[in-house]
Amino acid sequence: MAKHIVAAVAEIPPGGRKIVTVRGREIGVFNIDGTFHALINRCPHQGAVLCEGAIVSRLEAPMPGEYRLTRPGTMIRCPWHCWEFDIATGQSWCEPDDVKARSYSVSVEPGEALAKGPFKAETVAVSVEQDYVVVDV
C-alpha cells in the first residue's frame, strides 16, 4: 500500500467525483459534504463502471407507505443493473455483508506536507498553497 495524490481538493466539490487511475486500477473519488471517499470503479456484480453511475440518496421505509429520504447523495447506483452501494463503505444496499465494492481510505493533506513525501503524485502537480486528496492503494 502506498499513498497516492489523486486530486487537488478544489477539483472535487461536494457532490462531485473524479475517476482516477492508480497503479493500473480505476478508482472513483467522491466528495460527500466535504468528506472524501474512494471506491473501485468496478461493480462486484458484473464489472460495470460502478463509479460512473448516478449518485443517489438512501430511500427507506420502515413500514409500507412510510417513505423516508435519508442521507442524500450518499449512494452510488450501478449504471448496468441499478444495484446501490454505500459510497462511504462500498456495502451494497441489498446484501451489505456479502456484496461489497472495494473501498480505499482517503485523506486530505496540505501541499506543504506532501512536498516532503513519501507520496506518489503521478498525475497531479503539487503546489504548497493547496490541499490534496490522497488515496491509499
Verify binding: residue 123, ligand FES, rule CB under 6 A. no
Q: DSSP string covering 70-96, please?
A: EEEEEEEE-TTT--EEETTT-BBSS-T
C-beta of 99: minimal distance to another protein in Å?
9
79, exposed or middle or buried, with CB in 10 Å at 0-12, 13-18, 19+? middle
31: helix, coil or strand?
strand
Verify binding: residue 59, another protein, rule CB under 8 A. yes
Verify binding: residue 87, ligand FES, rule CB under 6 A. no
Verify binding: residue 95, ligand FES, rule CB under 6 A. no
Binding to another protein in span 76-95, by CB under 8 A: 81-84, 93-95
Residues forming contacts to ligand FES in the complex (CB under 6 A) are 43, 45-46, 48, 78, 80-81, 83
